[in-house]
Amino acid sequence: GENVEQHPSTLSVQEGDSAVIKCTYSDSASNYFPWYKQELGKRPQLIIDIRSNVGEKKDQRIAVTLNKTAKHFSLHITETQPEDSAVYFCAASNDYKLSFGAGTTVTVRA
């Protein structure tokens, strides 16, 4: 089955700086890569996703890049704000089954 590895497990950044989270996947058939944000005690919320026919996607301060050859994808958050503090999960799907990474706890320091 699919194996998704996510790094780092924790990330502390100064407000206004950028944050980068990286994930690798094992199944070359995976074609859909969503990112979820989970605040403490709340449900995971989809923040951005990318499909295998696209190399990069941006939405305001967040962007995701995908390298299919290397089987890795990354989340980039620019101009971080305190409300960006949360756990972020990457996931990979082979068209029907989502496999999640272990999560990255992001703390934005004021």
Partner 1 sequence: EAGVAQSPRYKIIEKRQSVAFWCNPISGHATLYWYQQILGQGPKLLIQFQNNGVVDDSQLPKDRFSAERLKGVDSTLKIQPAKLEDSAVYLCASSLRFRGGGYEQYFGPGTRLTVT
Least distance to partner 1, CB of residue 13, Å? 21
Instruction: Indicate whether 32 belongs to the interface with partner 1 (CB under 8 A).
Output: yes
Least distance to partner 1, CB of residue 45, Å? 7
Three-state DSSP at 82 gives helix
The H-or-E segment that residue 20 falls in is: strand 19-25
Exposed, middle or buried by CB within 10 Å (0-12, 13-18, 19+), for 91? buried
Size of the site for partner 1 (CB under 8 A): 24
Among 45, 55, 56, 59, binds partner 1 (CB under 8 A): 45
Instruction: Indicate whether 27 belongs to the interface with partner 1 (CB under 8 A).
Output: no
Tokens of 12: 């502390």
